[in-house]
Amino acid sequence: MKSINIKSIIAFAFFATAIGFTSCKSGNKTEAKETPKVEEKHSEAIEVSEEQMKAVGIELGSIEMKNLNSVVKSSGQLEVPPQNKADVNSLVSGIIKKIMVLEGNYVRQGQTVAILENTDIVKLQQDYLMLKKEIVYSEQEYQRQKELNTESAGTGKVFQQAASKYETDKARMKGIEKQLRQLNISPASVGNGNFVNQIPITAPISGVIGHIPIKTGSYIDMQTSLMDIVDNAQVHCDLQVFEKDLFKVKIGQEVEFILTNQNNKQITGTIYGINQSFENENKSVVVHAKINSTGGIRLLPGMYVSALINVGNQTVQAIPVDAVVSAEGKQYIFVVSAEEEKELTGKASEKEEKEKTEKVMETKAEKHIRFKKVEVTTGVTELGYTEITPLEEIPKDAKIVTKGAFYVLSKAAGGEEEE
Q: Characterize 363-397 residue by residue with b for buried, 16 or more Cβ atoms within 10 angstroms of its Cβ, and e for exposed.
A: eeeeebbbbbbbebebbbbbeebbbbebeeebeee
Q: What is the pLDDT of residues 283-297, one digit of tens each?
A: 889 999 998 877 777
Task: Tell me the pLDDT tens digit for each residue of 382-406.
Answer: 778 888 889 988 888 888 898 888 8
What's the confidence (pLDDT) of residue 99?
A: 95
pLDDT one-digit tens code per residue, 214-225? 999 999 998 889
pLDDT at 271 over 70: yes
Q: Taking 60 as the threshold, does the pLDDT of residue 319 lie above it?
A: yes
Distance CA 141, CA 118 (A): 36
User: What is the predicted pLDDT for the residue at 140?
Assistant: 86
State the pLDDT confidence band at 192, using cuts at 50, 70 and 90: confident
Total length of the chain? 419
> In whole angstroms, how far apart are CA 188 and each of 172, 191, 196?
16, 5, 13
pLDDT of residue 353: 55
Lowest mean pLDDT among 5-9, 57-61, 275-279: 5-9
Q: Report percent pLDDT > 90 for the chain.
A: 19
Specify the pLDDT at position 228: 93
- Who has greater pLDDT, 102 or 315? 102
- Mean pLDDT for 257-263 is 79
The 10s digit of each residue's pLDDT in 4-56 is 454 444 444 444 444 443 444 444 444 444 434 333 334 467 888 888 888 88
Does position 327 have pLDDT exceeding 50, yes or no? yes
pTM of the model: 0.53
Residue 204 has pLDDT above 50, yes or no: yes
